[in-house]
C-alpha cells in the first residue's frame, strides 16, 4: 500500500516536472552549452531534473560526449583509420620538385 | 666533422625522405580536417617548406613526425583563417538546419522529442569507435551537407580541441554565434550517426 502510494507520488512529481521544466528542444541546447561553459546554478538544476525524468536527453548528452571523445581520441592517433586517401602520385611529384628546388 | 654530429640522423634536412616517410601520414591528418584533397596537398607542401626553413629549431628533440604535425596544425589553422577572410558571410545565408522536425509541435508535448527522432541507446564506447574506419566514413558523410563554416567550427572544437575563444578569433565570430553553430552541428551529426551507423550496427 505504502509502495503503491510512493509510486503514484513519484509519477505525479515526474509528470509535473515534465510539464514545468524547459522541454527537450531547449534542454539539448543547454546540453551543448554545458560542453562550452559553466552553466549557471539555475540552468544546472533544471538540466539535472530534466535528465532525471528524460532518458532520451540522457542519451543525447551521452552521445555528444562519445562523439567528442572519439573525435579527439583519434585526432591524436594514427590517421590511417579516418581516411584511406593517400597523396596522389602527381601531388607527391609536385611537392618533391618544390622541395628539391628549395635546397 | 665531430663524432656527435656524424651520429645524428638530423644533421641536415632531408626533404625527400620526409616526403616518403611522413607524406601520407600528414596528408591523411590534413584531409580529415580540411575535407578537400587539393587544400590538404597544399598544406602538406607548405608544412615541408616551413620545416626546411625552421630546421634549425628542431635539433632532433622529440620525434620528427611530431614536429612536422605541429607545423601542419598551424598551416591548417592558417587555412581556416584565410577561408573566413576570403568568403565573408551574408547574414543567415549559411546556417545549418534547426531540425525542428526532431521535436513535437502540438501541445501538450510541444518541444519534447518526437519519438521518431528520439535518441536510442548506442551501446558504444569512444575507444571502439576510434578503430572503425567505416564509422569515420559515415561521420564525414554526415558532416558534408552542413555549411562549411559550421563544419570548420565543429572540427576546430571537437577534433582539434581548441578553446572557444581561439576559434572565435580564428573565424572572426562572436562566441554566441559559435555556440549556435556547434549546437546545430551536434544535433545534426548525432541524428545522422544514429540513423546511418548505430541502427545498422545493432
Q: What is the ipTM of this complex?
A: 0.87
* Residues in contact with B33: Cβ distance below 8 Å, sequence separation at least 6, in sequence order: B76, B155, B159, B160
Question: How many other C-beta atoms can be found within 10 angstroms of the C-beta atom of residue B184?
Answer: 22
Q: Which residues in A lie closer than 8 A to residue B126 (C-beta atoms)?
A: 66, 69-70, 73
Quick one: closest CA in A to B20, which residue?
A92
Is the per-residue pLDDT at B169 higher than 90?
yes
What mean pLDDT comes out for the span A45-61? 95
H helices then E strands: how many in chain A? 5, 0
| CB-CB contact of A99 with B48 (8 Å) | yes
Q: Which residues in B lie closer than 8 A to residue A18 (C-beta atoms)?
A: 112
Is the per-residue pLDDT at B67 higher than 70?
yes
Q: Do A80 and B193 touch (CB under 8 A)?
A: no
- Domains of chain B in start order, with CATH, are 8-86 (1.10.1740.10), 100-201 (1.10.10.10)
Amino acid B9: pLDDT: 52
Percentage above 90 pLDDT, chain B: 62
CA angle B193, B199, B202 (to 5 degrees): 125
- Cα A96 to Cα B9, B18, B41, B44, B49, distances in angstroms: 20, 10, 12, 11, 11
> Cα separation of A81 and A78, whole Å?
7
Q: Do A67 and B193 touch (CB under 8 A)?
A: yes
Give the domain ranges of chain A. 2-77
Question: How many other C-beta atoms can be found within 10 angstroms of the C-beta atom of residue B146?
Answer: 22
Indicate the range of A30-44, B48-62, B138-152, B174-188 predicted with least confidence. B48-62
A93 touches chain B (CB under 8 A): no
Instruction: Give the per-residue SS3 of chain B.
Output: CCHHHHHCCCCCCCHHHHHHHHHHHHHHHHHHHHCCHHHHHHHHHHHHHHHHHCHHHHCCCCCHHHHHHHHHHHHHHHHHHHHHHHCCCCCCCCCCCCCHHHECCCCCCCCCECCCCCCCCCCCCHHHHHCCHHHHHHHHHHHCCCCHHHHHHHHHHHHCCCCHHHHHHHHCCCHHHHHHHHHHHHHHHHHHHHHHHHHHHC
| CB-CB contact of B5 with B34 (8 Å) | no
* Per-residue cell: B138: 559515415
Model confidence at A103, pLDDT cuts 50, 70, 90, reads low
Is the per-residue pLDDT at A37 higher than 60?
yes
Highest mean pLDDT: which of A72-81, A85-94, B9-18? A85-94
Amino acid B7: pLDDT: 42
User: pTM here?
Assistant: 0.87
Quick one: closest CA in B to A31, which residue?
B183
What mean pLDDT comes out for the span B64-70? 89
Closest CB from A25, A79, A87 relative to B32: A79
* Cis peptide bond N-terminal to B154, omega within 30: no
Distance from the Cα of B12 to chain A's closest Cα (Å) equals: 11
Is the per-residue pLDDT at B187 higher than 50?
yes
User: Measured in Å, how far apart are chain B's first and last C-alpha atoms?
Assistant: 64
**pLDDT tens column, B102-134:** 999 888 888 999 999 999 999 999 999 998 889
Please identify among residues 27-86 of chain A the ones whose CB lies closer than 8 Å to any CB of chain B. Answer: 28-29, 32-33, 35-37, 56-57, 59-60, 62-64, 66-75, 77-86
**pLDDT tens column, A12-30:** 888 888 888 899 999 999 9
Residue with cell 616526403: B19
Burial (Cβ within 10 Å: 0-12, 13-18, ≥19) of residue A15: exposed
User: B128-143 as b/e, with b when 16 or more CB fall inside 10 Å?
Assistant: ebbebeebbebbeebb
Amino acid at each position: 500500500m505504502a509502495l503503491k502510494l510512493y509510486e503514484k507520488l513519484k509519477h505525479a512529481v515526474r509528470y509535473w516536472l515534465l510539464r514545468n521544466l524547459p522541454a527537450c528542444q531547449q534542454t539539448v541546447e543547454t546540453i551543448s552549452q554545458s560542453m562550452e561553459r559553466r552553466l549557471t546554478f539555475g540552468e544546472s538544476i533544471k538540466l539535472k531534473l530534466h535528465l532525471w525524468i528524460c532518458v532520451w536527453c540522457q542519451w543525447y548528452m551521452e552521445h555528444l560526449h562519445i562523439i567528442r571523445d572519439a573525435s579527439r581520441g583519434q585526432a591524436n592517433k594514427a590517421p590511417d583509420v579516418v581516411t584511406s586517401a593517400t597523396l596522389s602520385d602527381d601531388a607527391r611529384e609536385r611537392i618533391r620538385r618544390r622541395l628539391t628546388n628549395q635546397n | 666533422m665531430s663524432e656527435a654530429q656524424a651520429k645524428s640522423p638530423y644533421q641536415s634536412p632531408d626533404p625527400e625522405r620526409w616526403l616518403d616517410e611522413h607524406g601520407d601520414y600528414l596528408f591523411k591528418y590534413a584531409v580529415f580536417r580540411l575535407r578537400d584533397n587539393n587544400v590538404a596537398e597544399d598544406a602538406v607542401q607548405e608544412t615541408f617548406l616551413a620545416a626546411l626553413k625552421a630546421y634549425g629549431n628542431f635539433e632532433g628533440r622529440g620525434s620528427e613526425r611530431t614536429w612536422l604535425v605541429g607545423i601542419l596544425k598551424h598551416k591548417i589553422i592558417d587555412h581556416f583563417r584565410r577561408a573566413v577572410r576570403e568568403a565573408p558571410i551574408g547574414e543567415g545565408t549559411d546556417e545549418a538546419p534547426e531540425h525542428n522536425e526532431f521535436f513535437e509541435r502540438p501541445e501538450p508535448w510541444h518541444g519534447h522529442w518526437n519519438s521518431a527522432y528520439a535518441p536510442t541507446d548506442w551501446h558504444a564506447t569512444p575507444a571502439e569507435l576510434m578503430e572503425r574506419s567505416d564509422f569515420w566514413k559515415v561521420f564525414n558523410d554526415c558532416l558534408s551537407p552542413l555549411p562549411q563554416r559550421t563544419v570548420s567550427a565543429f572540427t576546430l572544437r571537437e577534433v582539434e580541441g581548441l578553446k572557444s575563444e581561439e576559434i572565435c578569433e580564428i573565424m572572426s565570430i562572436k562566441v554566441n554565434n559559435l555556440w549556435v553553430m556547434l549546437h546545430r552541428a551536434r544535433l545534426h551529426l548525432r541524428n545522422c550517426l544514429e540513423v546511418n551507423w548505430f541502427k545498422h550496427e545493432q
